[in-house]
Amino acid sequence: MLKLIRIHGWALLALISCAPLAQAQGTGPAKPESGEQPVAPYTPPLPAGSTSLLALGTSGEVQGPPDDRPLSGVQQQTLGPNSGASNFLAPSFSAMSQLATNSFGPGSGGPTDFNYLLGTLDLNRASDRSELLVHYTGGGMFSSYFNSAIQDLEFSYNFKWQRWSLLVGDGVSYLSESPFGFGGVGGLDFLSGNSPFGPGGFLSSILGPNQTIPTIMVPRVSNTAISQIEYKLSPRASWTASGSYATLDFLGVGYINSAEALFQTGYNYSLNPRSSIAVIYRFDDFRFTQLPQVIENHVVQLGYERNVTGRLNWHVAAGPSVVMLRGALTGYGNQVSWALDAALDYKMNRTTILLSYDHLVTGGGGVLVGAQTGLVQATIDRKLSPRWQGSASLGYATSGSLIPLSANLANERLSSWYAVARLDHQFRPGTAFFVSYEAQLQAVNTGACTTPNCGTNTITHEISVGFNFGLRPISMR
């Protein structure tokens, strides 16, 4: 664990140190690079429980060019380029107290209190040729039953040269529970205050280990390293090739550790400034530390995206999937299925709606040996007044095992959901008080389970109150 933290620490330090040097090439000491973005007026960090879309303002003006992220790439699609400040370092702090029932499964006793203390740091360093984005959240969770560190780091560096573009990035986390509905507020982003870069992070939802199956509280390390190249074939067409390697390791309790290697390539074509299409091929390879089993997945998808900058972005990519099972548990066998990735982001004057649905093969989240997973999530934010904001989130996931636990049992199917309601009161820009309620369910339709907290129906209720304090961003000219 210490070795992993040191490696990511040195890599992050190298990127931050080298980025200004790369941008300074070809410029005199008294003249800044022409492509460097000016620092916009102060845009404070967002209050906990909000999405960055509402906090960008409600003027309704369309700002900047459309988002140029390729549909076949590994980055998350957005409403458009960042409308707030660029070239900044933004720190913020969060504190939350929570009262929860059934936090550790049936019969766990009365209500349990949890306390969270977190610090968040966002870095944006951009020019015409490069962009460095870093989002880090660190702190801890404290209770009479269990104490745990919280560490989450995500960064990406994109460099453009003529028709070529190179993207490298990584996302690593150390958590004590599933990030699906994490912390009783719908996820770590809502607990620490959303990143100014947009909801959901930098990377596509299909990347990284899927952890939508809730487990008991146990430390786990998740890491996803990515790289991508893009070549502009013409003003309208581009080609991408990307790869990633992801691991999920549980520190004890006998969950199933897994690793996933991914390769993806695609052709993108812009029909007009607002619409584009893509043809995508993806290959996934899943392996499991304790089991001699390999799962390979081949996917071909057709994609379509519609983008009205600052207002609307929706995309869908769908196609057939061929799952190949190789190993001691299954022998040799193939399954034909389907894959779908769809999302809608829609911003009105005072309301923002986020919807997403994914159907894909995953590693099983430490509970199953590979799974066909369906995941739907929805968030609605409403600005009630200049100081009050309300929001609600829903998430539902179902995972069907690709490999039964024994020859006498059908494939297991586990379902879980969470529902969250939040209310925020802003005292000043970047400083807010919030209160939230979350209900979360784990269910399984068969009595056969080999891991803790599996084979039970558990509803957890969590009431939270917290405070988010954002410092003034530091300009990095």
DSSP string, 193-211: ---TT-TT-SB-TTSS---
Q: What is the pLDDT of residues 17-45, one digit of tens each?
A: 444 444 444 444 444 444 433 333 333 33
Structure tokens at 5: 């933290």
Predicted pLDDT at 37: 39
Judged by average pLDDT, the poorest of 164-173, 310-319, 410-419 is: 410-419
Q: Which residues, at least 6 apart from 76, have a Cβ–Cβ distance to it below 8 Å?
A: 69, 198, 200, 201, 202, 203, 204, 205
pLDDT at 3 exceeding the cut of 70: no
pLDDT at position 329 is: 74
Q: Which residue has the higher pLDDT, 373 or 188?
A: 373
Query: For residue 449, what pLDDT band results from cuts at 50, 70 and 90?
Result: low
Residue 29: the pLDDT is: 42
pLDDT, mean of residues 392-402: 92
* Pairwise CA distance, residues 400 & 367, whole Å: 11
Burial class (CB in 10 A: 0-12, 13-18, 19+), 347: buried
Of 330 and 170, more confident? 170
pLDDT, position 383: 94
What is the helix (H) or strand (E) element at residue 125, kind and residue range?
strand 112-126
DSSP string, 414-460: EEEEEEEEEEEEEEETTEEEEEEEEEEEEEESSS---STT-S--EEE
Provide the pLDDT for residue 214.
Answer: 79
Q: Note the pLDDT of residue 108.
A: 54
CB 216 within 8 A of CB 68: no
Residue 192: band (very low, low, confident or very high) from pLDDT cuts 50, 70, 90: low
What are 112-154's pLDDT values in tens digits? 889 999 999 999 898 889 989 999 999 999 988 788 999 999 9
Cβ atoms 241, 229 nearer than 8 A: yes
- Percent of the chain beyond pLDDT 90? 48
Question: Hey, how many other C-beta atoms are within 10 angstroms of the C-beta on 178?
Answer: 22
Comparing CA positions, the residue from 436, 278, 382 lying closest to residue 53 is 382
Q: What mean pLDDT value characterizes the chain?
A: 80
Contact 300, 280 (CB under 8 A): yes
Q: How confident is the model at residue 52 (pLDDT cuts 50, 70, 90)?
A: very low
The pLDDT tens digits for 353-368 are: 999 999 999 999 988 8
Which residue type occupies 325? L
* Per-residue model confidence (pLDDT) at position 436: 93
Rounded CA gap, 401 and 2, in Å?
Answer: 33
Q: Strand runs (DSSP E) across 176-274, as ranges?
A: 220-232, 237-250, 258-272
CB-neighbour burial class of residue 448 (10 A; exposed 0-12, middle 13-18, buried 19+): middle
CA distance 453 to 347: 39
Query: What tokens appear for 168 in the block?
Result: 């490298």
Average pLDDT over residues 96-109: 71
Query: Dihedral of CA 212/213/215/220: which sign?
Result: negative
User: Which one has a higher pLDDT value, 59 or 400?
Assistant: 400
Per-residue pLDDT for 61 more than 60? no
